[in-house]
């Protein structure tokens, strides 16, 4: 079955890089997503990666995928206070329009 795990908390200083990790169990995952949830809001898609890719970069965001270890990470460069939020990874075996399995979410706190 599908299971997605994340650590619950991460604290970094403003200006440092943040790395949020995620492990998944379904080897047939074809799409992996990162969503951001700011306080009191819904989820906002940050980025996604296809399982045939190792890396994807989008401005301050870098996604790394290690398919052998079923490990996904999100790196945020030059972390700002506005990056404080909960970050969810999610997997789908048939694309986002079908069922997504979410991790527990990682609460990122950015300190001055």
Partner 1 sequence: DVKVTQSSRYLVKRTGEKVFLECVQDMDHENMFWYRQDPGLGLRLIYFSYDVKMKEKGDIPEGYSVSREKKERFSLILESASTNQTSMYLCASSFLTDTQYFGPGTRLTVL
Among 20, 74, 79, 105, binds partner 1 (CB under 8 A): 105
- DSSP three-state, residue 32: strand
Q: How far is the CB of 58 from partner 1 (least distance, A)?
A: 14
Q: Which of 80, 94, 109, 111 binds partner 1 (CB under 8 A)?
A: 94
Is residue 7 within 8 Å of 28, Cβ to Cβ?
A: no
Shortest distance in whole angstroms from residue 64 CB to partner 1 = 20
Question: Would you call 109 helix, strand, or coil by DSSP?
Answer: strand
Q: Give whole-number Cα distances, 28 to 17, 31, 100, in Å.
A: 30, 9, 13
By CB under 8 A, name the binding residues for partner 1: 4, 6, 8, 33, 35, 40-45, 48, 88, 90, 94-100, 102-105
């Amino acid at each position: 079955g599908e299971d997605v795990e994340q650590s619950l908390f991460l604290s970094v200083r403003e200006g440092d890089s943040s790395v949020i990790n995620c492990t998944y169990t379904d080897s047939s995952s074809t799409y992996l997503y990162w969503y951001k949830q700011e306080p009191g809001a819904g989820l906002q898609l940050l980025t996604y990666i296809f399982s045939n890719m190792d890396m994807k970069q989008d401005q301050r965001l870098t996604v790394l995928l290690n398919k052998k270890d079923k490990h996904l990470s999100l790196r945020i460069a030059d972390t700002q206070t506005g990056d404080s939020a909960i970050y969810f990874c999610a997997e789908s075996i048939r694309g986002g329009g079908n069922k997504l399995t979410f991790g527990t979410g990682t609460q990122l706190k950015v300190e001055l």
